[in-house]
Amino acid sequence: MSAESERAAPAAGPEQSAARRRPAIVVVDDEPAVLAAVSRDLRRGFGERYRVLRSGSGPEALEVLRELRTRGEAVAMLIADQRMPGMPGTEYLTQARRLVPDAKRVLLTAYADTEAAIAAINEVALDYYLLKPWDPPEEQLYPVVEDLLTTWEAGAALEAGGVRVIGHRFSKESHDVRDFLVRNRVPARWLDVERDGEARELLRVAGVDGERLPVALLEDGTVLERPTILELAERLGVAVAPAQDHYDLVVVGGGPAGLAAAVYGASEGLRTVMVEREAPGGQAGQSSRIENYLGFPAGLSGSDLARRATDQARRLGAELLTVQEAVALRAEGAARLVTLSGGGVLSASCVLVASGVSYRQLDTPGFPELTGAGVYYGAAMTEARACSDQHVVVIGGANSAGQAAVYFGGYAARVTMLVRGATLEKSMSHYLIEQVAARPNIDVRTGSSAVAADAEDGRLRRLRVRGPEGEEETLAVDACFVFIGASPRTDWLEGVVARDDRGFILAGRDAQAAGWPLQREPYVLETTVPGVFVAGDVRARSIKRVASAVGEGSMAVSLIHEYLVEA
Ligand SMILES: Cc1cc2nc3c(=O)[nH]c(=O)nc-3n(C[C@H](O)[C@H](O)[C@H](O)COP(=O)(O)OP(=O)(O)OC[C@H]3O[C@@H](n4cnc5c(N)ncnc54)[C@H](O)[C@@H]3O)c2cc1C
């Protein structure tokens, strides 16, 4: 296979060699010597898997991207010099993002341009900035590029993947199956029966009645009509049953707190199992861009964080059970027993409850019936692409709503934010308010709320909105994403561990004041049941951040070690 880099040329014939179909890395620099050097190094490191296309200016590279897009060819990465006459790197990347939104974006800068690169992180959602010179490439270039390409490949593989799911876009069952596959990183291709001719053909060949959707066609030829999530998980080999009789630690919940506990627990020799009812990642897995997590100056998406943490936990030996919900907890002597929704019971010396919080649902007329059929709770990532050229409404005024609005702003034609408060300032971080304001296709309506959702053909079509003066207006909408806060779902612990009046779990000194049974003091993250710990958003008085959830999850493991030594 040729490993040559190619001079990017807009014109291309229809006859494409196999080598040309490798995904592209497009490099732009106006200085021929630098362009040649970076292309040479990239070719040397990645030429086997990627084509390296060179371009001398932003406009020329944009033309190349249009060509690639027309031919349906994949672009994995854009690398651009910042200082170029006519069109600086940041402007090029902004325009290029509209053509190839999934490609990783890297800015090449001299030390003097670091400020511009940092500013570009928000402007163009930059993934990384590389300082010139990048010698030696083995240390300064390859690790960064490899990491970004691995992330890109994980996304591309998911979309090209083996399982095919055919369904209606606006059906709750279809949405749930798609969301499960995406969030559990099962490679799958989604086919919309209304829009996709191939979907109808596949149904015909498989002999499936169009009334029995969604249908999952597995790689081994199995056809699953209207599968339950548990059935699908079992058939796809997503672990749903425990491998051991007894564990040192059962972690309930696979958000940042639970994943951190799984990583630290397993790495420190505890037999650790993590139980997650949906998919690892928790709320953070729904975040389009976490910007304030230490060590990731360009931010990282929640799904990326979840993927990295899940791989890390597994590599270190933690067992992960998904699509299993903890439904009861009891203490029997030194054992702590967790009953699972699938019927099994996990036995452990310690339990960490890291079950976070769940989105609050709107009970406004029309919303409950249309959930999954145009109304979504935090399902931003799964639905974003289907929203291109559409009108999307985001309800809520906090950071999660702001992130979603900015994210959808990159796909949808128009985004309307309905914010109940009079301003965004009280509820949203300053940096997000700036990002929302910078997007001309986002319309923020403060003092406004949805009072009804109307359907047509079983899917959301219109929202009735009440404005600050009580006036009402009907908006034609394609999808509505709701982010109106969250609450803990800890009913399954009723009567077992002490909770506050909103359901958050008490720990440490609060637990001591709420019926702690022993002479010794509880550890700071220990609940009213000795040996049962709590971490992350579900803990009363916790700070609702990824970093603090990760901190508490890892800290809990160290306290659990102390508990086990003393027990
Ligand atoms: C859209 C959005 C954007 C955000 N952006 C940021 C940001 O930029 N920066 C930041 O610092 N924070 C951000 N946050 C907040 C951050 O995501 C949370 O603070 C963090 O995820 C809390 O982690 P956790 O592990 O405690 O709980 P969660 O993330 O809520 O995870 C809990 C997990 O437990 C599972 N679970 C619950 N009950 C059970 C049960 N009974 N059995 C099995 N599993 C169960 C759930 O399915 C879930 O996966 C954002 C939140 C949202 C929703």
Q: How far apart are CA 466 and CA 516, in angstroms?
A: 49
Q: Give pLDDT, residue 423.
A: 94
Burial of 131 (0-12, 13-18, 19+ CB in 10 A): middle
Q: Give pLDDT, residue 482.
A: 94
321 within ligand 1 shell (Cβ under 6 A): no
335: amino acid identity, one letter: A
Of 250, 287, 483, 552, best ligand 1 pocket probe by most atoms within 8 Å of the beta carbon:
287
Is there a contact between 459 and 372 (Cβ–Cβ < 8 Å)? Answer: no
255 within ligand 1 shell (Cβ under 6 A): yes
Which residue's CA lies nearest to atom 22 of ligand 1?
A: 537
Q: Give pLDDT, residue 380.
A: 59
Residue 55 Cα to ligand 1 midpoint, Å, equals 42
488 within ligand 1 shell (Cβ under 6 A): no
Q: Give pLDDT, residue 39.
A: 95
258 within ligand 1 shell (Cβ under 6 A): yes
39 within ligand 1 shell (Cβ under 6 A): no
435 within ligand 1 shell (Cβ under 6 A): no
CA distances in angstroms from 46 to 14, 24, 149, listed in the order given: 25, 10, 10
Residue 4 Cα to ligand 1 midpoint, Å, equals 45
Residue 364 Cα to ligand 1 midpoint, Å, equals 25
Which residue's CA lies nearest to atom 12 of ligand 1?
A: 545
Q: Model pTM greater than 0.95?
A: no
Residue 357 Cα to ligand 1 midpoint, Å, equals 6
In our burial notation (b when 16+ CB lie closer than 10 A, e otherwise), range 23-52 reads: bbbbbbbbeeeebebbbebbbbbbbeebbb
Give, for all 567 residues of the chain, the pLDDT tens digit.
Answer: 333 345 454 333 333 444 447 899 999 999 999 999 999 999 999 999 999 999 999 999 999 999 998 888 899 999 999 999 999 999 999 999 989 988 999 999 887 778 877 877 777 788 888 888 888 999 889 999 999 998 888 777 666 667 889 998 888 889 889 888 888 878 788 888 888 888 888 888 888 887 889 999 988 888 999 998 888 888 887 877 888 999 999 999 999 999 999 999 999 999 999 999 988 999 888 787 888 899 888 888 888 899 899 999 999 999 999 889 999 999 999 999 999 998 899 999 999 999 999 988 999 999 999 988 899 987 556 677 778 889 999 999 999 899 999 989 888 999 999 999 999 998 999 989 999 999 999 999 999 999 999 999 888 999 999 999 999 999 999 999 999 988 998 999 999 999 999 999 999 999 999 999 999 999 999 999 999 999 999 999 999 899 999 999 999 999 999 999 988
Residue 427 Cα to ligand 1 midpoint, Å, equals 19
Of 546, 548, 552, 554, best ligand 1 pocket probe by most atoms within 8 Å of the beta carbon:
546
Is there a contact between 130 and 106 (Cβ–Cβ < 8 Å)? Answer: yes
353 within ligand 1 shell (Cβ under 6 A): no
274 within ligand 1 shell (Cβ under 6 A): no
